[in-house]
């Protein structure tokens, strides 16, 4: 069933792109004037507080690339449906690109706002690849997510170190919560923890839906006899996972699990995109695609 669903989605994308490309190339055979655009693609969030992160990204992208129109898309259909019920319409990447094509954009830089190159990012690659293959734009290029290279990793480590919660002492832990994925790129989280601990041995990285899990983080904290931990989202927004899975009062939240283990917890509800040092990494990735235009 899953394979059929993926096949059906691919056919739908192919058909939409084929129809739209046909309409563009039928425009009296005339080449269009160059029109650049940037499409920012996030997983999305229905939490009002998460908009702070997206607004910060939007502001910095527009300031860095003035004169180039910036549009948004969310990859999560669940989030898009929730927002639609609130009267807020966000497009999927497929629809957003189709609209840009219809609006006669010729050169488009699609920038992933995901943290790692997991399943969502690779689905986005397929979408961009479909538009590229069908020739809907003169040029369309996809920018890397936050952490894709060793250089990105080093910048992310620097950003984390610079934004450690104020007042935190060296014998207290900083526990970063990533989303996690079953995709092989989940290995980035463990690699990030390794490189962080070369700088500060009391910084830990766990995930909600991957490895390392909170049980392992609890064990590591106990081994070091740590009594206090700052819980920090390692996601672009402090959305549902941060508020509930990390800082919630339910018995299986990270705060509850660690508190039960005798570790005092201080949740910090700020997404990475609220900090300019992280946004700079994403914004820098746009320059690669735009450099080809």
Catalytic residues: 179
Q: Which residues pair with 40 in a beta bridge?
A: 72, 111
Q: How far is CA 194 from the centre of its chain?
A: 21
CB 43 within 8 A of CB 114: yes
Q: Strands, DSSP E only, in 136-190?
A: 139-143, 173-178
Instruction: State how far the Cα of 220 lies from the Cα of 25, in Å rounded to an integer.
Output: 59
CA-wise closest residue to 178 among 115, 106, 107: 115
CB 113 within 8 A of CB 145: yes
The number of CA neighbours under 13 Å toward the Cβ of 28 is 2
- φ/ψ (deg, to 5) at 21: -65, -40
Instruction: State how far the Cα of 125 lies from the Cα of 192, in Å rounded to an integer.
Output: 24
Q: Which helix (H) or strand (E) holds 39?
A: strand 36-42
Token pair of 188, please? 């980035």
Instruction: State how far the Cα of 291 lies from the Cα of 77, in Å rounded to an integer.
Output: 31
CA-wise closest residue to 137 among 287, 290, 17: 17
Cβ atoms < 10 Å from Cβ of 80: 19
Q: Which residues pair with 142 in a beta bridge?
A: 110
Q: How many residues does the chain have?
A: 293
Q: 158: Cβ–Cβ under 8 A, 6 or more apart, which residues?
A: 277
Token pair of 99, please? 């609209």
């Amino acid at each position: 069933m899953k394979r059929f669903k993926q096949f059906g989605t691919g056919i739908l994308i192919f058909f939409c792109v084929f129809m739209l490309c046909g309409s563009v190339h039928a425009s009296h055979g005339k080449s269009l004037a160059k029109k650049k655009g940037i499409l920012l693609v996030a997983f999305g969030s229905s939490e009002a507080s998460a908009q702070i992160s997206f607004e910060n990204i939007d502001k910095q992208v527009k300031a860095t690339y003035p004169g180039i129109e910036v549009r948004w898309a969310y990859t999560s259909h669940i989030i898009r449906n929730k927002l639609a019920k609130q009267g807020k319409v966000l497009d999927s990447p497929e629809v957003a690109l189709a609209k840009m094509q219809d609006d006669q954009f010729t050169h488009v830089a699609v920038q992933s706002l995901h943290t790692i190159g997991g399943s969502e990012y690779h689905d986005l690659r397929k979408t961009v690849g479909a538009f590229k293959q069908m020739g809907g734009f003169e040029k369309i290029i996809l920018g890397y997510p936050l952490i894709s290279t060793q250089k990105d990793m080093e910048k992310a480590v620097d950003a984390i170190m610079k934004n450690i919660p104020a007042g935190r002492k060296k014998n207290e832990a900083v526990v970063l919560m990533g989303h996690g994925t079953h995709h092989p790129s989940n290995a980035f989280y463990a690699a990030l923890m390794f490189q962080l601990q070369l700088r500060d041995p009391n910084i830990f990285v766990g995930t909600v839906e991957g490895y390392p899990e909170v049980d392992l983080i609890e064990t590591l904290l106990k081994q070091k006899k740590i009594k206090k931990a700052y819980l920090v989202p390692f996601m672009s927004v402090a959305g549902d996972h941060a508020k509930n899975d990390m800082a919630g009062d339910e018995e299986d939240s990270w705060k509850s699990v660690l508190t039960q283990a005798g570790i005092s917890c201080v949740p910090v509800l700020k997404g990475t995109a609220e900090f300019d040092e992280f946004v700079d990494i994403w914004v820098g990735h746009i320059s690669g695609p735009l450099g080809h235009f």
